[in-house]
Chain A
Amino acid sequence: EAQVTQNPRYLITVTGKKLTVTCSQNMNHEYMSWYRQDPGLGLRQIYYSMNVEVTDKGDVPEGYKVSRKEKRNFPLILESPSPNQTSLYFCASSWGDSMNNEQFFGPGTRLTVL
């Protein structure tokens, strides 16, 4: 089944404790992206990757890191999480550029930083 998976689905952590949220897709998509969703703000793009080893900042990259060493994986790293990073996170992938191609979203990761 074609899908985007994220792990963990739920995570409660404390301020300053490094964490990684994994994202994997099995559709051989070139493009992958991370979003965060907060009440009333819609989805905001954090980082995106056009292909292996090619990443760029979205609208809200502060406090996040990403890497794209393999085509299928695009982990999101929070080196020192803070409470304002409490949010619902989505990973997505698509063929080619994201505006002209359907994006497939993962199930989401709900992160709480205490």
Chain B
Amino acid sequence: LAKTTQPISMDSYEGQEVNITCSHNNIATNDYITWYQQFPSQGPRFIIQGYKTKVTNEVASLFIPADRKSSTLSLPRVSLSDTAVYYCLVGDGYKLSFGAGTTVTVRA
């Protein structure tokens, strides 16, 4: 499994855009990049997944440069309800490693 590195925490204010960058220098050719969101005492929830370039859905955007050694999750115009832990996962197959994630705190 590719090791991922992401910031431990980030603070933001309502209405701002939040960008969380995940480093995965040893990503393999077949690996996908997946992000999950977790609220306290709840199970993680899938946000977005990508392989290269840019992926966008109704919740977020995922930017992946050509070398795929990093990726950036972008949350547009965050609200208080976006306060959560965000996990970057990289891999292919069945074994998953979530790591400690990035705690995003959105303030009014």
Contacts and interface: CB of A to CB of B under 8 A. Distances in A.
Interface of A: 4, 31, 33, 35, 40-45, 48, 50, 56, 58-59, 88, 90, 92, 97-100, 102-108, 110
Rank and list the top 4 A-B pairs by shortest CB-CB distance, nearest first.
A105-B43, A43-B98, A102-B46, A42-B98
B18 interface: no
Nearest to A31: B94
A9 to B, nearest CB: 10
Given A88-B41, A107-B42, A107-B43, A102 B94 contact: no
Interface string B75-99: 0000000000001010111111111
B34 to A, nearest CB: 7
B49 A102 contact: yes
Given A107-B42, A108-B41, A99 B91 contact: yes
Contacts of A59: 95, 97
Contacts of B45: 105
Given A97-B94, A99-B94, A42 B89 contact: no
A43 B45 CA distance: 13
A4 B44 CA distance: 12
Contacts of A31: 94
B92 A100 contact: yes
Interface in B36-67: 36, 41-46, 49
Given A59-B95, A105-B44, 7 more contacts: A33-B94, A42-B100, A43-B87, A90-B44, A100-B32, A100-B49, A108-B41
B95 A90 contact: no
A50 B11 CA distance: 38
Contact of A90 (B43, B49, B87): B43
Given A99-B34, A102-B49, A108 B42 contact: yes
17 contacts: A31-B94, A35-B98, A42-B87, A42-B101, A43-B87, A44-B98, A48-B95, A58-B95, A97-B94, A98-B93, A99-B31, A99-B89, A99-B91, A99-B94, A102-B46, A107-B43, A110-B41
